[in-house]
Chains A and B, each alone.
Chain A
Amino acid sequence: MKANLFGKYHMFILKNVTHKYGDKTILQATDWAASQGEHWLLLGNSGSGKTTLLHIMGGLLKPTNGDVEIANQNLHQVNGSKLDRFRAQHIGLVFQKPHLIQTLTVLDNLLLAQYMAGVKKNKQRCLEVLTQLNMQHHKKSYPNKLSQGEMQRVSVARAVLNSPKVLLADEPTASLDDENTVQVIQLLQQQAQVVNATLVIATHDQRVKNEIDQVFNL
């Protein structure tokens, strides 16, 4: 890796990250750094540890070894509610399944994201993002009334709502049809661009590989 690995202008830096369950090594990543606004694909076969790596980058999991620096913050140095707060402010996560809160409307799901992140309530911002994703007419719908593609769009909206520095998507298209796949990938890129976030999409989906050039292989 380059000498400027820990330079200020990198949005995230991974160094010697490995993770073990017991004796079994499930993740061994080469060093990786990305600048602000870059879009990356994280490729690897099933079981290669893509999800584990994203969880580590999202501060959901502590790696057994190695350092993770996100937006100039070494994640080893933050814990507990500080880490929660850091995650809320800097990281947006999209999962294979949308996982919206079923008891709340689309709009309330977004408002909840603001509330949980400890961000000031801003309904205007929620509506703005929904409009960008062409979901504004569903703001009062409950998630179970939406299609998979629509739900995934709402979950993208939720992830970018608080303008994260890093947007991490774990197999976001795995349960979508072709049309929705293209849409969601484009929306992710578009939204990442709007908030100038570094985007990482973990996938083994051939349909996605054509959309993004920069690739990190596990």
Chain B
Amino acid sequence: MNLIKLSWSYLNKKRLNTFLNTLLLSFGVGIIIFLLLVVNQAEEKLKNNAQGIDFVIGAKGSPLQLILNAIYHMDSPTGNIPLSEANMIANNKRLVKKAIPLALGDSYKAYRIVGTTTEYPEFYKCKIAQGKLWQKNFEVTIGAIVAQKLGLKVGSKFYSSHGLEDDDDLAHKEHAFVVTGILAPSKTVVDRLILTNIESVWEVHGHHDDHEEGEDHKDSTDHEHKEGKDHDHKEGEHHKDSTDHEHKEDKDHDHKEGEHHKDSTDHEHKEDKDHDHKEGEVHGEEKEKEITAMLIQRRSNMAIVMIPGMANRSNKLQAVSPAQQYLKLLENIGIGADVLQYFAYVIIFIAGLSIFIALYNALKEREYDLAIMRTLGATRLKLFTHIILEGMLLALVGALLGFILGHGAVEFTGKMIAGSSQMTLSGFQFLSAELNILILVLVVAFVAALIPAIQVYKIDISKTLAK
């Protein structure tokens, strides 16, 4: 027999009361644990993926969107940028240590195909688990999660689809990608990517895209041109020649493209002498080679000032620092998490109040028991400790439930979003900050039990027993 056993016997006897009293506490603790784990794991994820990337160069637009898209492969691309302009920055060897181009636009079963260089997996310190890195066009190396979820193996073939959503209607059926390698899990974004060379993306996606855009473009020129003829006849006289010229060219081209599209490989073979992507070059005269973004690792601190400046000189480019965006993002998420956290602390405070009320009421019922224990020779201090311990045990049970609840909720959420999100969550992460929560809960319980425990000192044994 000891005080813990005695206190526990009272809690155990009134299980329902105990449960209700600990429920509040467990919710408070659970919410805090949940937030703690999610924020921590999100931060880790963000940090891991952005580690060493000082700038992302991409199309003008939302900086956050650019970061999300180019680093985390969430959100849609901001648009494409001309490779030549990106290279103007990348070629500054005094400023730039490493520059990794990324070409996006296609996907397979919602997993993104990223056209890049072998520097990209190297950058994330990815190791090959099976096979080898891509070497030729249409060879791909896939991340561990892609391989696992899609059941792809070395040698598997698949057709990409246009866009980043899983949509069979938009499949590019001309070119099959071949898996030549599978990367070992790296716990970075690469796990969820399909990597290939940029040319492959240009080829399969660029064709299609240019083609479409080209058509659109021509349509509009056509239209404008006609309108021009109709309305701006006189004014457009000078202009007319050139437009007309273009128009003819476009028409011709349009025609070719149409054919080309139907049996592109044949057509290409006929036309192609040096390159697979002559088409791109043909277009290159009007439209440059484009990439989606370029990841930059700086060589000197000077680059911090210089690179954004250089990017701003172009009207198409922006250079965004992930660190800055990351801070902004955390600030924004932070407010939401803070509010929820305050809310959780309020719950814990209320739980403390409920423990206080429970003990205070129990004390009235148990005055007699306590008086009896005094007649058995129990000192006041012993009974004081007995009441405090009961509060602490209650808190401990609540905290334990809360820990299970919090970790369970994170694990559950992780399982829920596992298929659809870039974010992975594990409930099996334990942080030292959780110990602080336990201490907080115990302090709250101690304070809550203090007044009832002090009441023990005031019990008049004789009066209580004579009742």
Contact = CB atoms under 8 A, between A and B. Distances in A.
Interface stretch (B2-10, B208-216, B226-234): B2-10
A102 interface: yes
B257 to A, nearest CB: 87
Contact of B1 (A51, A84, A88, A111): A111
Interface in A68-115: 80-81, 84-85, 87-89, 93, 95, 99, 101-104, 108, 111-115
B458 interface: no
A116 B373 contact: yes
Interface stretch (B70-78, B307-315, B341-349, B375-383): B375-383
Given A102-B13, A111-B1, A116 B466 contact: no
Contact of A121 (B1, B369, B466): B1
13 contacts: A51-B466, A55-B465, A60-B461, A60-B465, A84-B374, A84-B379, A87-B375, A101-B6, A103-B12, A112-B6, A115-B1, A118-B377, A162-B377
A116 B6 CA distance: 11
A61 interface: yes
B1 A103 contact: no
Name the residue in B368, B369, B372 with the highest tally of chain A Cβ atoms < 10 Å from its Cβ: B372
Nearest to B12: A103
Interface in B1-49: 1-2, 5-6, 9-10, 12-13
A81 B379 contact: yes
B447 to A, nearest CB: 25
A112 B377 CA distance: 10
Interface in A98-141: 99, 101-104, 108, 111-118, 121
Given A55-B465, A101-B9, 17 more contacts: A52-B466, A61-B462, A80-B380, A84-B374, A85-B377, A87-B375, A87-B377, A88-B376, A89-B377, A99-B372, A101-B6, A101-B369, A101-B373, A103-B10, A104-B6, A115-B2, A116-B377
Interface residues of A, number: 32
Interface of B: 1-2, 5-6, 9-10, 12-13, 368-369, 372-382, 461-462, 465-466
Interface of A: 51-52, 55, 58, 60-61, 80-81, 84-85, 87-89, 93, 95, 99, 101-104, 108, 111-118, 121, 158, 162
Contacts of B374: 60, 84
Contacts of B10: 103
A60 B13 contact: no
Give chain A's interface secondary structure class.
Answer: helix
Contact of A108 (B9, B368, B466): B9
A162 B369 CA distance: 19
A4 B379 CA distance: 34
Nearest to A117: B377
A83 to B, nearest CB: 9
Given A60-B465, A101-B369, A112 B376 contact: yes
A114 B1 contact: yes
Nearest to B2: A115
B376 A99 contact: no
Contacts of B1: 108, 111-112, 114-115, 121
A112 B379 contact: no
Contact of B377 (A51, A84, A101, A103): A84
